[in-house]
Copies of this chain bind each other. A is one copy, B any other.
């Protein structure tokens, strides 16, 4: 038995290609899209997809995890920024901005974000919390708000943005309300 040999180079390459393809396919056609189509776009056999992700659900989870990882990184970068207030609100608006393009991710994220103890989700929530606390210390956000509220509000607005294909101006209007509610 060869325990945990590091993945072969081509295998690692395939894994990435599959993940990219899956994100593209599921993002465009929803979670109902077929695994076969992912394989086709990735340029691998269907068998290879299932070797890497034994279940469709695993694959779905994996792209969410990857997405969250990127989100966590972006969010952490904002922490290095000088202006805590701008950082916090920019983060929120930026997320909503991206949301429209990523229906499926947002949907799945909603399912996962509440409970999941996955590593990347945690990292992301921590980053959000840090952003929030910093802004609160500055007096830019009211004190009686916690990370869960922010996350809930964020996902809510993202989902709404995703669903409706908002007419111009609507997004700004909604954010104005939410931001005023968040301010002191």
Interface residues, chain A, with chain B CB atoms under 8 Å away: 1-2, 32, 43, 45, 107, 110-111, 113-115, 144-146, 148-149, 152-153, 155-161, 163-167, 170, 173-174, 176-182
Task: Report how far A148 CA is from B20 CA in the complex, Å.
Answer: 34
**Residues in B whose Cβ lies below 8 Å from that of A167:** 148
- Provide the main secondary structure of the chain A interface: helix
Contact sample, A vs B, 19 pairs, CB 8 Å cutoff: A2-B43, A2-B45, A110-B159, A111-B163, A113-B163, A114-B165, A115-B164, A145-B173, A145-B177, A149-B177, A152-B164, A152-B166, A156-B156, A156-B160, A156-B161, A159-B160, A177-B181, A178-B178, A180-B181
**Residues in B whose Cβ lies below 8 Å from that of A152:** 157, 160-161, 164, 166, 170, 174
**Residues in B whose Cβ lies below 8 Å from that of A146:** 173
* Chain B nearest Cβ from A60, distance in angstroms: 14
Task: Report how far A178 CA is from B148 CA in the complex, Å.
Answer: 14
Task: Report how far A184 CA is from B164 CA in the complex, Å.
Answer: 26
Q: A148-B173, A178-B181 known; A160 and B165 CB under 8 Å?
A: no
Q: What would 14 more interface pairs be, CB under 8 Å, given A2-B45, A178-B178?
A: A107-B163, A110-B159, A113-B163, A114-B163, A114-B166, A115-B164, A152-B164, A152-B166, A153-B160, A155-B163, A156-B174, A159-B160, A176-B181, A178-B181
* Chain B nearest Cβ from A132, distance in angstroms: 12
**Residues in B whose Cβ lies below 8 Å from that of A110:** 159-160, 163-164
